[in-house]
Copies of this chain bind each other. A is one copy, B any other.
Amino acid sequence: MISEEVKKMLLQDEDGNIFVSSEDVANLNVNNNLNHALLVLSKVGYTSIPVLDNDSRIRGLISMPMIINAIMGLDAIKFDELETMRVEDVMDKNVPIIDATCDLEDILHHVIDHSYLCLVDNEGYFKGIVTRKEILSRVNHLVHELHNHYRLVENLPSKIN
C-alpha cells in the first residue's frame, strides 16, 4: 500500500496530466507493411509504438528489433520481406494495459518492466499512454519535496506485553 501523503504528492498535477493523450502518440495500423512501420519508428525515435486496428482499439506494440528479427535470414537480413509482411504478423500482442479504474500502485508496478503503459476506455479504445519518463519526473519531485512538507518520524518497534 502507498500512503495517502505519498500518493497525493505523486499525483499533484503541476505540469499537466499524468497521461499523454492518444492524439499525441504515434501509432501504426495492424495492416501497415513493415517498411512503413520501419519508417515511422525511425522518425519518432521511440523504441516501440502502439498498434491499433481500424476501430482504434489497441492490438499490440511494435519495435524495430521485432521488425529486424522477423526479416532475419540464416546469414543475412532479408530486406525485401519488409514490403510483404504486415505489422500484425510481428507485433507483440502482450500489451501492458491500464484503464481508468487503475490506481497508482498498479502503474508504479508495471512501469518497472515497460517503457510505457497503454490506457484504454472500457470498450478497449486506445486513449493514451503513461510513460516511465513522466513517472520518474514525479518521483524526482516527490523525493526532493517530501521533507519540505512532512517530518519523517521513525516508527518504534511495538512492545510485546
Contact = CB atoms under 8 A, between A and B. Distances in A.
Looking at chain A's contact residues, is the secondary structure mostly helix, strand, loop, or mixed? helix
Contacts of A109: 140
Interface stretch (A23-31, A50-58, A94-102, A147-155): A147-155
B42 A69 contact: yes
Contacts of A112: 133, 136-137, 140
Interface string A56-81: 00000001110011001000010100
Interface of A: 1-3, 5-6, 10, 35, 38-39, 41-42, 44-45, 47, 63-65, 68-69, 72, 77, 79, 105, 108-109, 111-113, 115, 132-133, 135-137, 139-140, 142-144, 146-155
A149 B139 contact: no
Contacts of A68: 38-39, 41-42, 64
Chain copies in the assembled complex: 2
Contacts of A144: 1-2, 105
Given A143-B2, A146-B3, A154-B149, A108 B79 contact: no
A12 to B, nearest CB: 14
A43 to B, nearest CB: 8
